[in-house]
Amino acid sequence: MTSPDVAGRGGPARVMLPKSLTGIDGFDEITEGGLPTGRPTLVCGPAGSGKSLFALQFLVNGATRYGEPGVFLTFEEARDDLVANTSSLGLDLAGLERDGKLLIDGVTLQPETIVETGDFNLEALMVRVAWAVEKIGAKRVAIDNVESLFVTFANRPAMIRSELQRLFRWLKANGLTAVITGERGVDTLTRHGMEEYLADCVVLLDQRVVQEVTTRRLRVLKYRGSIHGTNEYPFLIGLDGMEVLPITSLTMDQQVSDERLSSGMPGLDEMLGGLGVFRASSILISGTSGTGKTTLAANFANAACERGERVLFFSFEESPAEILRNMASVGLDLARWVAAGLLHFHCERPTTLGVEARLVTMQRLIHQIAPMLVIIEPVSSLSSDTQGPDASAMIVRQIHYLKSAGITTVLTSLTGSGSGEPSAQHISSLVDTWVLVRTLEGSGERNRGLYVLKSRGMAHSNQIREFILSDNGVRLVPVYIGPAGVLTGSARAAEETIERDIIAGLDEKAAQLAAALEGRREAVEAHVAAIRTDFETEESLTRRLVETTEERRVALQSERTAEGHKRTAASTVNSPSRERPGDPREGASR
């Protein structure tokens, strides 16, 4: 097996260590492929930490999923007890034995029945294992628990170490992938220091009690020839066996959506660019007690149910009946969605389970119900100081899990009496939209204020809105900003009343001025109309005079012309005949 990464960077191809998958959820991720093939692995931890279960799941999954039969050699339990104890986890060891995929060999070691004569060795044990391996063609071997050998032969520890070395060399020489379990010592991984020579891979299991709640942790302490996750990972032993929860194995390749979803509150949608939040995004609603965080979350749930989407509501402070009653007081009838099978509640105290059990329980319910919206209320109950950073890591994983599944998430968080911003810093960087609700005090009142602190991928309002709860639901109104600062509640209402009165007075005065102006305009227009009438009358008279004058001038001109013609005619008749002008000499002779 080679690494394409190394070859792609121009270096020689790197040969990777062959690995065998364990089939344990999460463990194969942090080891990048499982346990080293053909090599021994030491699994150590205190009593009850899950060592035997780890070894059994390694064998059972190998036989059922990967076609690798296995041999389980136990020094602590009889075969029948082992089969009965694991049946509750769904491990059918008897059936696997009948199918020739598994062989269980229980070796009882009782010091009082053992008589040592001559040189002692584990030759018979190795013959017994070799016979079992050959019988079913085993590829995997688990030995649980070799510490029993040291207890049985407490006076000869050096001999046991020497013989175990020989046994493990034999396992390795035959290419058997082995898991060996051992009890945790006080200051050592095992009571007798086997890890120094035994294992190519060392897995450390731990079980601790914090605030009366048991939690389990796993860490890969050593892995020769391979990189691996070095952190401490929570794991759970449940109905499906062991499951490791590797926080750091989460990838950042989830798909995103451009679809916008209404919050169920028009005022908040308007603050979020007018369209609401993105589908498959995460929304954090934080604030002090009594600011309406649950009501806001319930509006998201109601809007999703109205779209025909399933909603899973996790509550760690109130029962379903309390939530339904309290939301009915603000006009939200969530009971109808419960009856329709769209709204599902899961309510329990946050201290009933450890963080890893809580995470697996939530994910199991999400898988069963397949919701489009998940509400966790309040998430601050899961990240209390008593649970420490483990709870924060669980919340990180849960948010990423929901995003990867394309599920919209609404989380509420209880903050201190301050602004609320620092108290939610541990998850605020993970969410896409952060809505902060707070108490605004003034004029002897406490009122609610809401603003959007951030909302990735969209333009959003930077204003504070007063958040009003009533029988008719949620209403967001702009706060009143006056000379005295931000006013809410009755102070805002009083100022708005004064402002309305002033506006009404100004409107009335403006109407009076407009009416007076209209009257003056009408008077001016009437006066202008009268002047125009007088002018038109005078104009008509003047035109007639001009026309008459013109007529008289024309007539006079005509008379004068006619008179001239008459005079010319009369002069022609009364004058003597005259000769035509001719030779001037004729006139002189006369």
Summarised one tens digit per residue, pLDDT across range 139-172 is 999 988 776 665 555 556 666 667 777 778 888 8
Summarised one tens digit per residue, pLDDT across range 202-214 is 999 988 877 666 7
Where is 214: in which H helix or E strand? strand 213-223
Judge if 234 and 283 occupy the same domain. Answer: no
Assigned token pair, 223: 């892995």
Judge if 385 and 487 occupy the same domain. Answer: no
Residue 64, domain CATH: 3.40.50.300
**β-strand partners of 218:** 205, 233
Provide the mean pLDDT of the chain.
81
Judge if 92 and 46 occupy the same domain. Answer: yes
Judge if 388 and 439 occupy the same domain. Answer: yes
Q: What's the confidence (pLDDT) of residue 118?
A: 47
Q: Are 277 and 435 in contact (CB under 8 A)?
A: no
Summarised one tens digit per residue, pLDDT across range 111-147 is 544 445 445 566 777 888 889 999 999 999 998 877 6
Instruction: Decide if 320 is inside a domain.
Output: yes
Q: Are 177 and 34 in contact (CB under 8 A)?
A: no
Number of residues that this document lists for the chain: 590
Q: Give the span between the Cα atoms of 185 and 207, in whole angstroms.
A: 14
359, pLDDT greater than 80: no
Summarised one tens digit per residue, pLDDT across range 495-506 is 667 777 778 888
Instruction: Estimate the share of the chain in helix, then strand, then coil, as percent rounded to the nearest 5.
Output: 45, 25, 35
Nearest to 177 by CA among 66, 74, 85, 90: 66
Assigned token pair, 113: 């029945």
Task: Determine the 3-state secondary structure of 236 from DSSP.
Answer: strand
Q: What's the confidence (pLDDT) of residue 469?
A: 87
| Angstrom distances, CA of residue 301 to CA of 325, 362, 388, 450, 504 | 15, 18, 30, 19, 42
386, pLDDT greater than 50: no
Give first-to-last CA distance, the chain, whole Å.
166
**Relative orientation angle of helices 293-306 and 320-328, to the nearest 10 degrees:** 90
Instruction: Decide if 264 is inside a domain.
Output: yes
Q: Give the span between the Cα atoms of 295 and 448, in whole angstroms.
A: 13
Q: Are 440 and 449 in contact (CB under 8 A)?
A: yes
| Angstrom distances, CA of residue 537 to CA of 283, 334, 524, 532, 543 | 83, 84, 20, 9, 10
- For residue 491, the tally of other CB atoms under 10 A from its CB is 19
42, pLDDT greater than 60: yes
Summarised one tens digit per residue, pLDDT across range 300-352 is 999 999 999 999 999 988 999 999 999 999 999 999 999 999 999 999 887 77
Instruction: Decide if 565 is inside a domain.
Output: no
Judge if 189 and 295 occupy the same domain. Answer: no
Judge if 487 and 473 occupy the same domain. Answer: no
Q: What's the confidence (pLDDT) of residue 422?
A: 47
Range(s) of the domain holding residue 497 = 479-510
Q: Are 203 and 218 in contact (CB under 8 A)?
A: yes
Instruction: Decide if 304 is inside a domain.
Output: yes
The domain boundary, picked from 184, 215, 249, lies at 249
Summarised one tens digit per residue, pLDDT across range 223-236 is 988 888 888 888 88
The domain boundary, picked from 230, 249, 268, lies at 249
pLDDT confidence tier of residue 64, bands split at 50, 70 and 90: very high
Instruction: Decide if 570 is inside a domain.
Output: no
Choice between 188 and 394, residue whose per-residue pLDDT is larger: 394
> Which residue bears the tokens 């035959």?
174
> Which residue bears the tokens 């499951």?
243
Instruction: Decide if 61 is inside a domain.
Output: yes
Nearest to 55 by CA among 95, 22, 100, 26: 22
Give the DSSP letter string of 53-121. Answer: HHHHHHHHHHHHHSS--EEEEESSS-HHHHHHHHGGGT--HHHHHHTTSEEEEE----GGG----SS--
DSSP state for residue 291 in the 8-state scheme:
S
> Which residue bears the tokens 């600011």?
291
Judge if 272 and 366 occupy the same domain. Answer: yes
Q: What's the confidence (pLDDT) of residue 434?
A: 93
Judge if 176 and 289 occupy the same domain. Answer: no
Summarised one tens digit per residue, pLDDT across range 239-284 is 778 888 765 445 667 778 899 999 999 999 999 999 999 999 999 9
Instruction: Decide if 546 is inside a domain.
Output: no
The domain boundary, picked from 460, 478, 496, lies at 478
Q: Give the span between the Cα atoms of 278 and 113, in whole angstroms.
A: 71
Q: Give the span between the Cα atoms of 479 and 485, in whole angstroms.
A: 10
pLDDT confidence tier of residue 56, bands split at 50, 70 and 90: very high
Instruction: Decide if 398 is inside a domain.
Output: yes
Residue range 389-397: mean pLDDT, rounded: 71
Q: What's the confidence (pLDDT) of residue 576?
A: 58
Judge if 397 and 423 occupy the same domain. Answer: yes
The total number of structural domains that make up the chain: 3
Where is 219: in which H helix or E strand? strand 213-223
52, pLDDT greater than 70: yes
Q: Are 183 and 194 in contact (CB under 8 A)?
A: no
Q: Give the span between the Cα atoms of 83 and 96, in whole angstroms.
A: 11
Give the DSSP letter string of 316-343. Answer: SSS-HHHHHHHHHTTT---HHHHHTT-E
Judge if 178 and 45 occupy the same domain. Answer: yes
Q: What's the confidence (pLDDT) of residue 190?
A: 60
590, pLDDT greater than 80: no
Beta strand 213-223 with 102-106 is unpaired
Judge if 470 and 484 occupy the same domain. Answer: no
Q: Give the span between the Cα atoms of 115 and 562, in whole angstroms.
A: 181
Q: Kindly report the pTM of this predicted structure.
A: 0.67
Judge if 300 and 190 occupy the same domain. Answer: no
